[in-house]
């Protein structure tokens, strides 16, 4: 579903082998667990509690694995505010898009079983799909390179958050839409792709997605608290989701689990996710070669994507980082693995303003100082006209005002409504004081820009993607902690 970070994140999404890492040489800057566990854990406590207060996050559960040992597993704050129930390492949260790491693994297990191949055409595997998708393969779905439009970016989709959809109804939302690009040519996050992977699992396995996941993954790994979400089921230790509307805490919006399905419908705990992490390190479900394939950036027609199969691929201060985050109304989640440092950080929060990704990076830096995030320095801005145009756009967004001519047609439908809806949450941040360029990347005529926006009461990271014509096709705002 939508990756939300409270009022702040506005863009729409549903935001190398790790094997034998214990035998790898330790890179400079890595700190031994036995020397740092106590002080690092204490530092994490104050760091997490401070951000919870600042960001109005009711509850957070954290697990840290270093050198194959669980050095921290605990909860902070409340899993349920109304009943004053504390969050613990066994609190159950909606995982949102962290679910994709499991869906991708299930597909690779079926490939290993000989029941699928990565180059299978999805139209040959699933019936009644659009002819335009005939060149889309399983590989394309796994890597978000299919070109199929994400159903979560369909105009007004989130106004139907409570609706129970049949699988065919979800597919029909985008079935008549043209492909956004030739399969394999570009990368664009698509929840439709992972929804289709869930349908493929059910077709090939001959059983429901949740049943297959339980039989092949959850039960063998002892993940007793992990399952598909069912909002009517009694799930012990389930956290209530919340949102901060700029003035007060409220219960998060109800979202039917039929909507995220295999793109984001699992629930779990940090204790169970520690078992998931161990299975990856020990090759319990998949061998080293398969995991290496999943954790290798996908090659595109020009360049590569920062994504493999079900995992984001990048570097933090030069250190490998394999991760996935998730956001759905009421919850923000992150599973971050740093294979060179033998470190995994898992953060689950019951607030869609929980900033789980930022929390995970901050925690990682407290256990491995070399991973500590450093404030980016402004760079020379040789395109002042573009920066001024974007600065004026941001000033308007803070007031809920939008110049539609600045956005692509797709962004007008999928992004602009969220900017307008975010007025009440953005306005309290105050007026824009400075707007500095931090990074500029050009790819085939399109631009990816990163700015630091200093407001009266908040400093934001601003991520903007422009198409070849200079129109805005993506916008993300995130607090700079």
Tell me the per-residue pLDDT of 279-296, one tens digit each, with 9 for 90 and over.
999 999 999 999 999 999
The whole-angstrom separation of Cα 208 and Cα 198 is 9
Residue 75 in 3-state DSSP? strand
Strand 331-338 to 319-328 pairing: antiparallel
**Averaged over 125-151, what is the pLDDT?**
97
Residue labelled with tokens 């060149």: 135
H/E element, 254 = none
Strand 69-80 to 85-86 pairing: antiparallel
Task: Determine which of 91-100, 318-327, 425-434 has the lowest per-residue pLDDT on average.
Answer: 425-434
**Tokens standing for residue 224:** 């007793």
**Averaged over 2-15, what is the pLDDT?**
32
Name the band, by pLDDT with cuts 50, 70 and 90, for residue 39. Answer: low
The overall pTM is greater than 0.75? yes
**Averaged over 371-391, what is the pLDDT?**
92
Name the band, by pLDDT with cuts 50, 70 and 90, for residue 18. Answer: very low
> What's the pLDDT score for residue 249?
96
Name the band, by pLDDT with cuts 50, 70 and 90, for residue 38. Answer: low
For the chain, give the percent of residues with pLDDT over 70. Answer: 92
Average pLDDT, the chain: 90
For the chain, give the percent of residues with pLDDT over 90. Answer: 78
Say if residue 357's pLDDT is above 50: yes
Q: Pick the more confident residue, 375 or 103.
A: 103
Exposed (0-12), middle (13-18) or buried (19+): which is 125, by Cβ within 10 Å? Answer: middle
Say if residue 218's pLDDT is above 60: yes
Say if residue 401's pLDDT is above 50: yes
Say if residue 11's pLDDT is above 50: no
**Averaged over 260-269, what is the pLDDT?**
98
Name the band, by pLDDT with cuts 50, 70 and 90, for residue 10. Answer: very low
Q: Specify the DSSP class assigned to residue 218.
A: I
Say if residue 127's pLDDT is above 70: yes
Q: Pick the more confident residue, 28 or 413.
A: 413
**Averaged over 332-355, what is the pLDDT?**
96
Domains and CATH numbers, the chain: 1-374 (3.40.710.10), 384-479 (3.10.450.590)
> What's the pLDDT score for residue 2?
35
Say if residue 8's pLDDT is above 80: no
**Averaged over 74-87, what is the pLDDT?**
98
> What's the pLDDT score for residue 32?
37
In 3D, which of 63, 71, 68 has the Cα closest to residue 20? 68
Say if residue 20's pLDDT is above 70: no
Say if residue 34's pLDDT is above 70: no
The whole-angstrom separation of Cα 369 and Cα 129 is 49
**Tokens standing for residue 271:** 């204790």
């Amino acid at each position: 579903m939508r990756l939300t970070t409270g009022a702040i994140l506005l863009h729409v999404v549903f935001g190398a082998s790790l094997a034998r890492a214990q035998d790898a040489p330790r890179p400079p800057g890595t700190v031994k667990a036995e020397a740092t566990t106590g002080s690092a854990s204490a530092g994490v406590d104050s760091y997490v509690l401070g951000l919870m207060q600042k960001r109005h996050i009711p509850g957070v559960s954290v697990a840290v694995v270093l050198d194959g040992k669980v050095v921290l597993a605990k909860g902070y704050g409340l899993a349920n505010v109304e009943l004053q129930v504390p969050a613990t390492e066994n609190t159950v949260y909606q995982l949102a898009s962290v679910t994709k790491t499991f869906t991708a693994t299930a597909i690779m297990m079926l490939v290993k079983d000989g029941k699928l191949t990565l180059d299978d055409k999805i139209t040959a595997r699933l019936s009644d799909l659009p002819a335009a998708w005939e060149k889309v393969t399983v590989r394309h779905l796994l890597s978000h390179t299919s070109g199929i439009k994400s159903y979560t970016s369909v105009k007004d989709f989130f106004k139907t958050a409570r609706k129970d959809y049949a699988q065919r109804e979800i597919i029909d939302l985008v079935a008549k839409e043209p492909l956004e690009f030739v399969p394999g040519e570009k990368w664009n996050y698509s929840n439709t792709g992972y929804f289709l992977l869930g349908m493929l699992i059910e077709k090939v396995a001959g059983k429901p997605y949740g049943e297959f996941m339980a039989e092949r993954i959850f039960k063998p790994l002892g993940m007793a608290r992990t399952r598909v979400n069912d909002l009517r089921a009694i799930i012990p230790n389930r956290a209530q989701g919340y949102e901060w509307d700029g003035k007060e805490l409220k219960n998060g919006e109800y979202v039917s689990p039929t909507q995220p399905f295999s793109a984001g419908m699992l629930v779990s705990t940090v204790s169970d996710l520690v078992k998931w992490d161990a299975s990856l390190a020990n090759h319990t479900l998949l061998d080293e070669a398969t995991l290496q394939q999943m954790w290798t950036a996908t090659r595109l027609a020009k360049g590569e994507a920062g994504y493999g199969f079900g995992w984001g691929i990048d570097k933090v201060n030069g250190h490998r980082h394999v991760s996935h985050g998730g956001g759905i109304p009421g919850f923000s989640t992150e599973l971050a693995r740093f294979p060179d440092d033998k470190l995994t950080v898992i953060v689950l929060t019951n607030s869609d303003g929980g900033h789980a990704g930022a929390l995970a990076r901050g925690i990682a830096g407290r256990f491995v100082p070399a991973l500590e995030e450093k404030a980016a320095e402004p760079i020379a801005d040789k395109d002042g006209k573009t920066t001024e145009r974007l600065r004026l756009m941001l000033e308007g967004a803070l007031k809920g005002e939008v110049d539609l001519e600045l956005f692509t047609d797709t962004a007008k439908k999928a992004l602009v409504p969220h900017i307008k809806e975010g007025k009440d949450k953005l306005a309290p941040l105050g007026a824009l004081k400075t707007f500095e360029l931090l990074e500029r990347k050009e790819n085939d005529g399109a631009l990816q820009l990163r700015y630091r926006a200093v407001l009266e009461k908040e400093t934001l990271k601003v991520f903007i993607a422009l198409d070849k014509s200079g129109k805005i096709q993506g916008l993300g705002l995130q607090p700079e902690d």
